[in-house]
Structure 1
Amino acid sequence: MEDHMEEELFLLYGKSGKMPVKDERGGLDVSKVAKPVQATVSSLKMLDVGKWPIFSLCSEEELQLVRQACVFGSAGNEVLYTTVNDEIFVLGTNCCGCLGLGDVQSTIEPRRLESLSGKKIACLSYGSGPHVVLATAEGEVFTWGHNGYSQLGNGTTNHGLVPCHISTNLSNKQVIEVACGSYHSLVLTSDGEVFAWGYNNSGQVGSASTANQPIPRRVTGCLQNKVVVNIACGQMCSMAVVNTGEVYVWGYNGNGQLGLGSSGNQPTPCRVAALQGIRVQRVACGYAHTLVLTDEGQVYAWGANSYGQLGTGNKSNQSYPTPVVVEKDRITEIAACHSAHTSAAKTQGGHVYMWGQCRGQSVTLPHLTHFFSTDDVFACFATPAVTWRLLSVEPDGHLTVAESLKREFDNPSTADLRFLVDGKYIYAHKVLLKIRCEHFRSSLEDSEDDIVEMSEFSYPVYRAFLEYLYTDSISLSPEEAVGLLDLATFYRENRLKKLCQQTIKQGICEENAIALLSAAVKYDAQDLEEFCFRFCINHLTVVTQTSGFAEMDHDLLKNFISKASRVGAFKN
């Protein structure tokens, strides 16, 4: 296998007729395959909708106009996409009227979805019928397609041949996220409330009964006073992440996909107690398995595992959250969808891993792919080849205003101002700095100088600050981000301060945890301080053996030990 990486990739794409070598568990033997050269975030490629077979029905000219797309259906044979002109087109077999055209006729040519003309799509999800739930940029909800179990939320069980605006109990709400199980639907509102409707044989709409729910109803119980920030659906189960990082689950649990340590169904939301002390940011559901991503970049999985979709190295189901080991890189994105047994993840370094069902084979451990996007995993490996989220495709050759500004940073040919830091120049534009920063608005107001010397901050830190004013983002090591946090505090740049804290969180490890905790205390970054403290407690044995802990400031050490004792860190 050592010299056959290309053969394996061709096989997974369906371009080779050879059967894959299997390991002793029946999965692809990827342990000896050479790893691709490390990819960086800057080398990300534009999403290519052409990887989905259904798009082969479109011409090159039509493909170039695509800006958003969703591929769905029992065989990936339905598609909805938007164009540069905000027009919505559909094509495919049109099962149960799921294309929303007013009929059930299949079409191999894109047809305009006139009833949603002028609407901008914010998010979209689909069920197995299939049915479609769409939220617009204004927060309105539209549904259509299969409705045998009231999954359209319009109070009937008649299939919806055209998009129907769902306003019952949602008329004064702005929907910001949607999720569909096989035959039920969830939406999340801007004020953190979850509404559910549709098939409820296992309690998946969270109503404390098993009667189908024909119209949107708020999911309450344990979620009554919680602010939900993320939702997801498995085939017949539902998940919600709240702003404190807790995960609540309800619905079918026959494979342990609720993570409660049992296999009994749950008719109302219940907290996943096994994740106590762990802050979850995102949840993603497969057909009968669940993935969560924590604020430390760790992935946990549970539920069905017949294809290795939990990434544990075996095919045994798990009813409790189990860590997924993906090298040592931090995970920044997880991917799964209720119609597949495939899992994927993307790391901070830009690597994309997959595990689970892969073209009929089983991959029981995270496998490093050559992809730059988790979307490509589902296009090329999953069965059916559907999208796990609404794709967004950037246009070729067109630069937005924001993209144009990014290109001009540190460009000597157009700059009218130079900063001299540590003997090196950084090129900038006075007018942009005055527009973007209150400090420069006053300091550059009457200045005719074209060179400004800066000695208070290092070159990497000050360059990152100026680049942030052009790009709204930062790219620094956590240690350098501490210096930028100092600058942000000095210049009263609150948004930059938040970004620095986020960067520090993403780069924390046992070796630097104490130094980052000290910085958080110094700059009064309370959220970051709490995060660093929690990280130290979760990795206490290793952290206390580092040089940073040995050299810790006396007062900080005293406070740390006191606080750690209060949370029970030293109990046997």
Structure 2
Amino acid sequence: MPTLHACGSNGGGQLGIGHVDDVATFTPCVFDPSCPPFERVVDLVSAASHALVLVSADGHNHLLGAGTNSHGQLGKVCVLTECASPATSFRPLSIAVDAGFDGWEPVKLAATWTTSFVALQSPDGSSVRTQVIVAAGSDDFGELGGGIIRLKEGERVEHLGGGQRHVLAVLVSGSGDGRKQRVIGWGSARRGELDPSPQPDKGKSKARMRFLAPTELTLDLPAPIIDISLGASHTLLLLADGRVLAWGNNMKGQITDLGDMTGVRAIGATWNGSYILDDQFWSQGSNTHGQLLRSDSGKTRAPRATVTAGGEGIEAFAAGSEHILALVRAGPRTDLWAGGWNEHGNLGLGNKTDSAQLVNTSIHASRVWAGCAASWALVE
């Protein structure tokens, strides 16, 4: 079966590769013997110096983590140690137990700069299956949201995402014609990242609070939300009808006219850029490190334009802090292509030179994740 590999920034041991040195080629991750033998990787998120992995073993999900625990973002106590030093291999975490939910199963993950978020579901056999979102780590911009975010009766977490300092959760209740979604957000709010209301075309923007507690956002949803992606201070939502909702900071042009696009299949946000996949691959926003993957590298505010890659077309992609990983169809397999900021070797190309275009890493991968100058791939 595929194995998890990583490259890039690793000063906190967050790549989980057994040491704290940056690496510029994809390197197998290390899993502590205390981890259950798992069948698949369900999801992975990472931020400044820690990473969380959700794996499936024996029909249940398990939460693993690696990296620095200076703010308690890996929980109060790891299985083997209190993590005074970086955890350089993935190991089970205690976040659910710390919050008083021992036996609850992790189902969704998110992370901001130094904070972790885990959606938990009550154990099998519970009279009513209930979900909560628990947070662990720093609270500089209210990211913890009080530590435990309780859902309404019958709700479950459908999407959970973190930007640099803000968090969004799409909650769903009911089924069929009675299915309803609502969106809550919390954390940093000064730049409008939690304010989807239309802004005036001219004049001074309205004053905003520095941060928000968990708050339901007022949204007009003509179709269900099927994905979310958060940048440093802007927010993207993808709807089932192929349209995009976008709000927040637009100083780099990262959300300009995104609402006009149709037929969108996938979205992604770097810190100061937005990426859209329809029949083509589009990018807009900051291009100071070539992260928009096109010829106008160096621009601080670049308009939307197309990105190209070899093979038979981009099937999926992941957006990191300022780099992109793309899975490109090449006959019966998918090749991993990478481009953008590469200061820590996070493109996996064997060097630390920025790339203003997507480059084939020669890695055959089935899934990719991108974090803060860090990359992970399920390698075939």
Asked if these proteins are the same fold (TM beyond 0.5), I'd say yes
Tell me if the contact between 1:139 and 1:175 (Cα under 8 Å) persists in the aligned partners.
Answer: yes
1:329 equivalent to 2:312? Answer yes
- Quick one: which of 149, 159, 180 aligns to 1:166? 149
- Quick one: which of 106, 127, 142 aligns to 2:84? 106
1:244 equivalent to 2:231? Answer no
* Corresponding residue for residue 84 of structure 1: 57
CA distance in 1, matches of 2:32, 2:251: 45
Instruction: Assess, with a 3 A threshold, how the Cα gap between structure 1 residues 226 and 70 changes in structure 2: closer, same or farther.
Output: closer
Tell me if the contact between 1:237 and 1:251 (Cα under 8 Å) persists in the aligned partners.
Answer: yes
CA distance in 1, matches of 2:66, 2:336: 30
Pairing of 1:366-385 with structure 2 (within 5 A): 366-373=358-365, 378=370, 384-385=373-374
Q: What per-residue deviation string (whole Å, max 9, x for no partner) do you get for residues 406-451 of structure 1?
A: xxxxxxxxxxxxxxxxxxxxxxxxxxxxxxxxxxxxxxxxxxxxxx
* Corresponding residue for residue 432 of structure 1: none
The CA deviation at 1:231 is: 0.8
* Corresponding residue for residue 11 of structure 2: none
Partner of 1:287, secondary structure, is coil
Tell me if the contact between 1:125 and 1:132 (Cα under 8 Å) persists in the aligned partners.
Answer: yes
1:256 equivalent to 2:253? Answer yes
CA distance in 1, matches of 2:259, 2:369: 28
* Corresponding residue for residue 108 of structure 2: 123
The CA deviation at 1:205 is: 0.4
Instruction: Assess, with a 3 A threshold, how the Cα gap between structure 1 residues 60 and 80 changes in structure 2: closer, same or farther.
Output: closer
Partner of 1:141, secondary structure, is strand
Q: What per-residue deviation string (whole Å, max 9, x for no partner) do you get for residues 285-306 of structure 1?
A: 1111111111x3x211111111
Instruction: Assess, with a 3 A threshold, how the Cα gap between structure 1 residues 285 and 272 changes in structure 2: closer, same or farther.
Output: same
1:65 equivalent to 2:37? Answer yes
The CA deviation at 1:384 is: 3.0
Pairing of 1:97-246 with structure 2 (within 5 A): 97-101=72-76, 106-108=84-86, 110=91, 112-113=93-94, 114-115=97-98, 117-128=102-113, 130-136=114-120, 139-154=131-146, 164-167=147-150, 170-190=152-172, 191-206=180-195, 208=197, 210-221=208-219, 223-246=220-243
Instruction: Assess, with a 3 A threshold, how the Cα gap between structure 1 residues 232 and 87 changes in structure 2: closer, same or farther.
Output: closer
The CA deviation at 1:218 is: 2.5
Larger C-alpha radius of gyration, 1 or 2? 1
1:272 equivalent to 2:272? Answer no
Instruction: Assess, with a 3 A threshold, how the Cα gap between structure 1 residues 303 and 281 changes in structure 2: closer, same or farther.
Output: same
Alignment RMSD (CA, Å): 3.3
CA distance in 2, matches of 1:121, 1:393: 24
* Corresponding residue for residue 203 of structure 2: none
What residue ranges of structure 1 are gaps of 5+ in the alignment? 1-44, 155-163, 261-270, 395-572
Aligned residues: 314
Q: What per-residue deviation string (whole Å, max 9, x for no partner) do you get for residues 303-343 of structure 1?
A: 11111111112313455431112236232101103xx2111
CA distance in 2, matches of 1:348, 1:198: 38
Tell me if the contact between 2:275 and 2:281 (Cα under 8 Å) persists in the aligned partners.
Answer: yes
CA distance in 1, matches of 2:47, 2:84: 13
Q: What per-residue deviation string (whole Å, max 9, x for no partner) do you get for residues 474-514 of structure 1?
A: xxxxxxxxxxxxxxxxxxxxxxxxxxxxxxxxxxxxxxxxx
Tell me if the contact between 1:259 and 1:319 (Cα under 8 Å) persists in the aligned partners.
Answer: no
Instruction: Assess, with a 3 A threshold, how the Cα gap between structure 1 residues 139 and 259 changes in structure 2: closer, same or farther.
Output: farther
CA distance in 2, matches of 1:188, 1:198: 15
CA distance in 1, matches of 2:308, 2:62: 42
1:74 equivalent to 2:74? Answer no
CA distance in 2, matches of 1:393, 1:369: 12
* Corresponding residue for residue 47 of structure 1: 3
Partner of 2:284, secondary structure, is strand
The CA deviation at 1:201 is: 0.9
* Corresponding residue for residue 305 of structure 1: 287
CA distance in 2, matches of 1:213, 1:171: 26
Tell me if the contact between 1:72 and 1:78 (Cα under 8 Å) persists in the aligned partners.
Answer: yes
In structure 1, give the amino acid aligned to 2:84. S
Task: Identify which range, 51-60 or 340-349, moves more after superposition.
Answer: 51-60
Tell me if the contact between 2:170 and 2:184 (Cα under 8 Å) persists in the aligned partners.
Answer: yes
CA distance in 2, matches of 1:305, 1:237: 16
CA distance in 2, matches of 1:226, 1:83: 31
Partner of 1:272, secondary structure, is helix
The CA deviation at 1:347 is: 2.3
Tell me if the contact between 1:255 and 1:303 (Cα under 8 Å) persists in the aligned partners.
Answer: yes
Of all paired residues, the percent bearing the same amino acid is 17
The CA deviation at 1:64 is: 7.3
Relative contact order higher in (CA < 8 Å, ≥ 6 apart): 2
Tell me if the contact between 2:77 and 2:83 (Cα under 8 Å) persists in the aligned partners.
Answer: no
Tell me if the contact between 1:256 and 1:319 (Cα under 8 Å) persists in the aligned partners.
Answer: yes
Q: What per-residue deviation string (whole Å, max 9, x for no partner) do you get for residues 437-477 of structure 1?
A: xxxxxxxxxxxxxxxxxxxxxxxxxxxxxxxxxxxxxxxxx
CA distance in 1, matches of 2:378, 2:150: 27
Q: What per-residue deviation string (whole Å, max 9, x for no partner) do you get for residues 72-94 of structure 1?
A: 3424x455555736443444321
CA distance in 2, matches of 1:195, 1:189: 8
CA distance in 1, matches of 2:161, 2:15: 24
In structure 2, give the amino acid aligned to 1:186. L
The CA deviation at 1:199 is: 0.7
The CA deviation at 1:258 is: 1.0
In structure 2, give the amino acid aligned to 1:106. A
Q: What per-residue deviation string (whole Å, max 9, x for no partner) do you get for residues 356-408 of structure 1?
A: 01224221112122112376685xxx763255xxx8899xxxxxxxxxxxxxx
CA distance in 1, matches of 2:208, 2:138: 20
Q: What per-residue deviation string (whole Å, max 9, x for no partner) do you get for residues 88-138 of structure 1?
A: 34443212211122698525564641345433333211111x111222466
Instruction: Assess, with a 3 A threshold, how the Cα gap between structure 1 residues 73 and 335 changes in structure 2: closer, same or farther.
Output: closer
* Corresponding residue for residue 340 of structure 2: 356
* Corresponding residue for residue 327 of structure 2: 346
CA distance in 1, matches of 2:65, 2:55: 9
In structure 1, give the amino acid aligned to 2:192. G
The CA deviation at 1:178 is: 0.8
Instruction: Assess, with a 3 A threshold, how the Cα gap between structure 1 residues 250 and 319 changes in structure 2: closer, same or farther.
Output: farther
